[in-house]
């Protein structure tokens, strides 16, 4: 992408002029034309809002702090999801459906028929927090059998990924009451999806770290399609779990 090139500027200016004309004549449009244009307008507004959020100075500073974190030797990629770096709109969801998405990276999965759940983004009030925002999952009378948050990793997490890598998750999870929490790494390559499950050690007050050694799975490096992490909460009823940090990185195994 060359945003400052003449051709790129021309295309953006032409699109802006076209939408300006559409807006000027919106009052005279028929119902069918309005319905057909609204999805385009919503998609355009979403992309523009995302660009403005990502390019805010505070987000760039947050990325600089992430790049400066002490990570294992040889770390060649690190990432913090956008819901910890920039505000979401909407900032939460109440009584969510199974599979409902918040932002563009977080999906809530559950089988609670009463949907007694609230997921919302909140500013990180702790002085020591590096992330600008946190996320809190409130669980009331949970009657289901499973509850998890799925966080999609970006495409660049797969660039150069090989069985020689170890993926590392550093989190700061703060439940109101102790409960078992698991992290599962999922990698889709071709028709297969491989998973590695690890229990998160919730003892102590510091960050929690889990590692996923890819030597334990048969990974087809040439057919990588998707990678994501699940946070799985066991017996979560009448609890609230806050996510204050979520950093994913990768480094080569020590014997490589």
Q: What is the pLDDT of residues 41-90, one digit of tens each?
A: 877 877 776 666 566 554 444 555 555 566 777 888 999 998 988 888 88
pLDDT-derived band at 103, boundaries 50, 70, 90: confident
pTM of the model: 0.72
3-state secondary structure string across the chain: CCCCCHHHHHHHHHHHHHHHHHHHCHHHCCHHHHHHHHHHHHHHHHHHHHHHHHCCHHHHHHHHHHHCCCCCCCCCEEECCHHHCCCCCCCEEECCCCCEEECCCEEEEECCCCCCEEEEEEECCCCCCCCCEEEEEEECCCCCCCEEEEEECCHHHCCCCCCCEEEEEEEEEEECCCCCEEEEEEEEECCEEEEEEEECCCCCCCCEEEEEEHHHCCCCHHHEEEEEEEEEECCCCCEEEEEEEEEEEEEECCCC
**Tokens representing residue 126 in the block:** 């702790």
What is the domain partition of the chain in residue ranges?
A: 6-54, 76-252
- For residues 240 and 174, the answer to whether their CB atoms sit within 8 Å is no
Q: Using the predicted structure, report yes or no on whether residue 187 has a pLDDT greater than 50.
A: yes
- Asked which of 21-30, 126-135, 148-157, 171-180 is least confident by mean pLDDT, the reply is 126-135
Residue of higher predicted confidence among 3 and 177: 177
How far is residue 135's CA from residue 147's CA, in Å, rounded to a whole number?
Answer: 15
**Average pLDDT of span 115-120:** 94
Q: Using the predicted structure, report yes or no on whether residue 101 has a pLDDT greater than 80.
A: yes
- For residues 121 and 135, the answer to whether their CB atoms sit within 8 Å is yes
The number of angstroms, rounded, from the C-alpha of 219 to the middle of its chain's C-alpha atoms is 23
pLDDT score recorded for residue 60: 46
- Asked which of 54-63, 95-104, 123-132, 240-249 is least confident by mean pLDDT, the reply is 54-63
- Asked which of 60-64, 101-105, 204-208, 252-256 is least confident by mean pLDDT, the reply is 60-64
How far is residue 114's CA from residue 140's CA, in Å, rounded to a whole number?
Answer: 10
How far is residue 233's CA from residue 241's CA, in Å, rounded to a whole number?
Answer: 9
pLDDT score recorded for residue 129: 57
Radius of gyration of the chain (CA): 21
Closest CA to 240 of 151, 152, 147: 147
pLDDT score recorded for residue 25: 87
Helix 6-24 vs helix 31-54: angle between axes, to the nearest 10 degrees? 140
Model confidence pLDDT, tens digit, residues 152-171: 999 999 999 999 999 999 99
Residue of higher predicted confidence among 176 and 86: 176
Q: What is the average pLDDT value for the chain, to the nearest integer?
A: 85
Q: For the domain covering 76-252, report its CATH number.
A: 2.60.120.260
């Amino acid at each position: 992408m060359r945003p400052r090139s003449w051709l790129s500027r021309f295309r953006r200016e032409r699109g802006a002029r076209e939408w300006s004309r559409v807006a000027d004549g919106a009052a005279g449009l028929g119902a069918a034309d309005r319905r057909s244009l609204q999805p385009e307008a919503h998609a355009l507004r979403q992309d523009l809002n995302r660009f403005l959020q990502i390019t805010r100075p505070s987000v760039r500073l947050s990325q600089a702090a992430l790049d400066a974190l002490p990570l294992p030797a040889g770390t060649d990629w690190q990432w913090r999801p956008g819901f910890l770096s920039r505000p979401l709109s909407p900032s939460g969801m109440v009584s969510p459906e199974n599979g409902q998405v918040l932002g563009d990276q977080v999906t809530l999965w559950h089988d609670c028929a009463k949907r007694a759940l609230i997921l919302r983004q909140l500013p990180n009030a702790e002085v020591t927090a590096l992330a600008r925002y946190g996320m809190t999952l409130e669980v009331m009378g949970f009657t289901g059998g499973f509850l998890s948050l799925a966080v999609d990793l970006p495409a660049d997490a797969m660039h150069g990924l090989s069985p020689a890598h170890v993926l590392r998750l550093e989190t700061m999870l703060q439940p109101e009451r102790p409960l078992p929490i698991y992290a599962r790494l999922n990698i889709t390559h071709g028709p297969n999806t491989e998973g590695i499950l690890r229990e998160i050690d919730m003892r102590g007050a510091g960050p929690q770290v889990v590692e996923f050694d890819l030597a334990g799975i048969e990974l087809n490096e040439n057919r990588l399609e998707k990678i994501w992490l699940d946070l799985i909460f066991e017996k979560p009823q009448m609890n609230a779990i806050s996510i204050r940090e979520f950093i994913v990185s990768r480094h080569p195994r020590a014997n490589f």
